[in-house]
Structure 1
Amino acid sequence: MSITDYPELTIILRGYSFEEAMFVMEELAAMNTSVGIEVTTNNDDFARIITEGNKKFGQQLLIGAGTVLTFSQADQAIAGGAKFLLGPKNFSTPIFSLAKERGVVTVPSAFTPSEIQIMFDEGADIVKVFPAVTVGPTYFKQLAGPFGIRPLMAVGGVTIDNIAAFKKAGVVYFGVGSSMFQKADIQNRNGQAIRKSIQSYLDKLAEAGSEEDESH
């Protein structure tokens, strides 16, 4: 897939059972909206979730893997149909090579300006800045000075209260995990609450985008 098809918002599914993950995906698929679904490798059933998720919802959702730390995890995820790989650290050359060969988007993590540039030089499609909340929106604004607006993803501490500030600072992509849903809503299969939560994030991003357009 091309980076131009990559959605603005990625929802991180960490610590969910197979059944819970399938429930969230089903609700998202019904919304008919463009979001990424990141299934982290520290979910016991991560490969099964990716495989079954793609079988059932692959036409409506962009499903990939997160917390990719090893080549083996990347290989398993791609075998299950993962369309992208995210990690909390730099990716190795073999991971980049495998992903490029299979047409999978790579989103390794970096923190300093030098690390960010190295990952782009290695072939990263998007670079994840993690944990984003540690440096805040101002960091991204400062990076845009020498580097311009790059395809960076803010992950780690992004919430409904600060996502607009990150977007206004020049962030292009966002990954949201534990702050996206109330755990009880997942456990109780409260689909209406799940959809409402996701929509609130999408609305915030749209609102921030329109404000940005008006200021130019």
Structure 2
Amino acid sequence: MNKEEMIVRLLQAKIIPVLRKVSPAVFMDVVDALSAGGVTAVEITMDSEDASSLIRNVKERYGEKMAVGAGTVMDHADLSEALKAGAEFIVSPILDESVVKGANAEQVPVIPGVLSPTEVVQAIRSGADMVKIFPAGTLGPAYVKNIKGPLGDIPIMCTGGIDAENAADYLKAGAKIVGAGSSLIRKDLIAEQDWSGLTKEVEKWFLQLNHL
């Protein structure tokens, strides 16, 4: 799958669960539960235990059925490790131009974190394929709508403070994708190994988006 096709996959996914520091012992159970609920792309953060192996394991199990990205890519070292593991897209909470350029060189979609309009434009001019408004929950959907006024052609992902109740509001405001962390990857369900409960949680999120 080439870069352009992967970007289309991500845009179609709408919700990208952010898997941060999930125990390797239950990691694949979590991914299986997410997949059963309709998830087609996941972000595995590089600060997770043995992140490279987790990326490889998901790719081996799901192939092209699941887009597997690396998150919390802070520098070129993180990027290199993620790409060696087979990450198919790169997400960062910050704008590090070495990460953007390195991902571009490998023809892998890259989504750096930004907040201000100046950072949004700087990221795109640096070669980013999309920008991640982070932390989106600090300013809310109205901020995204205002950003989209003068910068309507720039694709936006929103992460940070997204939950089942407001995810649709961010998409209505102009975001193309929402990244969902602990509000979707619920620690209580994982602790109980309630995989059907996690699947139902995912389905609840998608139900909120059905009318969009």
Q: Tell me the TM-score normalized by structure 1.
A: 0.90
2:92 is the counterpart of 1:87: yes
In the alignment, is residue 25 of structure 1 matched against residue 36 of structure 2? no
Unpaired runs of 5+ residues, structure 2, are: none
Q: Are the aligned partners of 1:158 and 1:175 in contact in 2 as well (CA < 8 Å)?
A: yes
Partner Cα separation in structure 1 for residue 130 and residue 178 of structure 2: 11
Residue by residue over 1:84-120, the C-alpha shift from the partner in whole angstroms, topping out at 9 and shown as x without a partner, is 1111100223x22331232311010011000000000
Identity of aligned residues (%): 30
Supply the AA of the counterpart residue of 1:19.
Answer: A
Distance (whole Å) between structure 1 residues aligned to residue 204 and residue 107 of structure 2: 31
Equivalent-residue separation in structure 1 for 2:115 and 2:186 (angstroms): 29
Shift of 1:169: 1.0
Residue in structure 2 matched with residue 9 of structure 1 by the alignment: 15
What is the SS of the residue equivalent to 1:64? strand
Q: Aligned ranges for residues 146-165 of structure 1 at < 5 Å?
A: 146-165=150-169
Distance 2:64 2:46 in 1: 22
Deviations 1:188-215 (A, max 9, x none): 32121111111111121222x1xxxxxx
Residue 135 of structure 1: aligned partner:
139
Q: What RMSD over aligned residues (CA atoms) do the two structures have, in Å?
A: 1.5
Aligned to 1:214: none
Larger RCO, structures 1/2 (Cα 8 Å, 6+ apart): 2
Q: 1:40 aligns with which of 32, 45, 64?
A: 45
For 1:123 and 1:152, the matched residues in 2 are separated by 14
Alignment of 1:163-178 (within 5 A): 163-178=167-182
Kept in 1, the 8 Å contact 2:53–2:85? The answer is yes
Out of 52-61 and 69-78, give the one that drifted further. 52-61
| 2:73 maps to 1:68 | yes
Q: Is the 8 A contact 1:11 1:177 kept in 2?
A: yes
Deviation at 1:34, TM superposition (A): 4.7
Give 3-state SS (helix, strand or coil) of 2:140's partner. Answer: helix
Aligned counterpart in structure 1 of residue 118 of structure 2, from 114, 119, 122: 114
Q: Aligned residue pairs: how many?
A: 206
* Paired residue type of 2:210: A
Deviation beyond 4 Å, 4+ runs, structure 1: none
Q: Which amino acid aligns with 1:170?
A: G
Aligned 8 A contact 1:25 1:57 in 2: no
| Matched ranges for 1:181-200 at <5 A | 181-200=185-204
Equivalent position amino acid for 1:51 in 2: R
Kept in 2: contact 1:149–1:170 (CA 8 A): no
**Amino acid in structure 2 at the alignment position of 1:195:** T
Q: Report the TM-score, using the length of structure 2 for normalisation.
A: 0.91
Q: Report SS of the residue matched to 2:139.
A: helix
Contact 1:20 1:187 survives alignment (8 Å):
no
- The CA deviation at 1:52 is 1.4
Paired letter, 2:34: L
Aligned mates of 1:17, 1:91 — CA distance in 2? 28
